[in-house]
Amino acid sequence: MASKMTTVCEYKPGLEGIPAAQSSISYVDGQRGILEYRGIGIEELAQKSTFLETAYLLIWGELPTNEELEAFKKEILYHRRIKYRIKDMMKCFPETGHPMDALQASAAALGLFYSKRALDDPDYIRRAVVRILAKIPTMVAAFKQMRKGNEPVQPCDHLDYAANFLYMLNEQEPDPIAARLFDVCLMLHAEHTINASTFSAMVTASTLTDPYAVVASAVGTLAGPLHGGANEEVLSMLEEIGSVDNVYPYVEECLQHKRKIMGFGHRVYKVKDPRAKILQSLAEQLFEQPGCDKYYDIAVEFEKAVEEKLGYKGIYANVDFYSGLVYCKLGIPRDLFTPVFAIARVAGWLAHWKEQLEENRIYRPTQIYTGSHGVSYKTMAERDSYPC
Ligand code: ACO
């Protein structure tokens, strides 16, 4: 009995290694560098699938038939626009605010406009999934335009999901190769088991609140620099390094001062993140020749240096290391990198929301109390008489 109590109460900071759910959505093997969505390897999906098909797979558990996919795409297309009152609300956001904060507020606001909640109705679930997948990219692109004082660019009906987002962002149709690369980036970021933002989504979902609150809480969690915010910091770091010659001295300095190196390390992967491998090959395609982009060359040298110094600890490049470089080349502003991550990860959050509802129990973990007991209340006069 005593040993059982010890097991139950063992404290693991960050819940490392503690199973908090059963899920059939995705699988990660951190020792062998494997990531699968519904059993399909991420490399195969990146080669053969599209983001919307992958989102369907994650959320409904099976790849769609042609008819199912076409119907899904049509519904998404229909729901891409956002209400003028949402736009009006977004116009009041300070233009200096971070786009992740704007996205969190806008995602939560959807709950005001679509307030009917019917969590046991499959039609409601489908409509909510479609609405969120369709509107999140529009809201991210709209804030980018509005903070410059421009009207948002309306979605373009003949462009698919990824191409339409780049179009709304840059006011010009992307070339098909750029659009395909971006679609692959979305697939790579769509799901990753029970990480911090997904756990946040699941905890919120477990209270049976609406899906907009679920997504808004996950967006807030993704925003932190230890999670989705790392890719922004990677580019700042590459700029700070400034030249290939400065790579090794910079790494040495980080190690000496025990500074975390952004874009490296992962709670689960102890080898190179399989998504980083795919992103690196996308970056290679974009930057073809060495010397074509200074920061790509610095990144390649930097990865080599960090692997040499920290590889023995199982610290390798993660998904965020190359994604910023790819996004930059696609014309995505730096502070939109994490919102773009959110556009993709919404698919995973919604898959977990749906799975959570199928067998729900509210999350209510325990804690190990480290405070005092029976402390007597001190009056203000007693507190004021404390020596300074
Ligand atoms: N740079 C330098 N050292 C590192 C790094 C890093 N990026 N990551 C881990 N370490 C070291 C730690 O200093 C620690 O060393 P020690 O045992 O000698 O004290 C050891 O590795 C374990 O580190 P933790 O922080 O305890 O590992 P944890 O699993 O908690 O953290 C995390 C994982 C948060 C991703 C961490 O590696 C990190 O901060 N990386 C940088 C931020 C980043 O790139 N985040 C994006 C992750 S991917 C994503 O969220 C999509």
- Can you tell me the mean pLDDT for 332-356? 96
Q: Does the CB atom of residue 137 touch ligand 1 within 6 A?
A: no
- Can you tell me the mean pLDDT for 193-218? 97
The confidence band for 385, taking pLDDT boundaries of 50, 70 and 90, is: confident
Burial class (CB in 10 A: 0-12, 13-18, 19+), 224: middle
* pLDDT, tens only, 19-57: 999 999 999 999 999 999 999 999 999 999 999 999 999
Q: Determine the residue of 269, 315, 320, 323 to mutate for testing ligand 1's pocket, defined as the one with the most ligand atoms within 8 A of the Cβ atom.
A: 315
Q: Which amino acid is at 314?
A: G
* CATH of 23-225+334-358 given 1.10.10.10, 2.40.50.140, 1.10.287.130, 1.10.580.10: 1.10.580.10
pLDDT at 4 over 70: no
pLDDT at 2 over 70: no
Atom of ligand 1 nearest to the CA of 234: 44
**Whole-number pLDDT of residue 368:** 93
Q: Does the CB atom of residue 306 touch ligand 1 within 6 A?
A: no
**Whole-number pLDDT of residue 388:** 66
**Whole-number pLDDT of residue 287:** 80
Strand partners for 28: 35
Are 194 and 215 in contact by the 8 Å Cβ rule? The answer is no
Task: For ligand 1, atom 9, name the residue with the nearest CA.
Answer: 265
* pLDDT, tens only, 228-252: 888 888 999 999 999 999 999 999 9
For ligand 1, the distance from its centroid to the CA atom of residue 194, given in whole angstroms, is 17
Look at the domain 230-329 and name its fold: Cytochrome p450-Terp; domain 2 (1.10.230)
Q: Does the CB atom of residue 342 touch ligand 1 within 6 A?
A: no
Task: For ligand 1, atom 18, name the residue with the nearest CA.
Answer: 313
The confidence band for 289, taking pLDDT boundaries of 50, 70 and 90, is: low
* pLDDT, tens only, 159-198: 999 999 999 999 999 999 899 999 999 999 999 999 999 9
For ligand 1, the distance from its centroid to the CA atom of residue 186, given in whole angstroms, is 24
Task: For ligand 1, atom 35, name the residue with the nearest CA.
Answer: 266
Residue-range domain boundaries for the chain: 23-225+334-358, 230-329
Are 270 and 313 in contact by the 8 Å Cβ rule? The answer is no
pLDDT at 357 over 50: yes
Q: Would you tell me how many other CB atoms lie within 10 Å of the CB of residue 55? A: 28
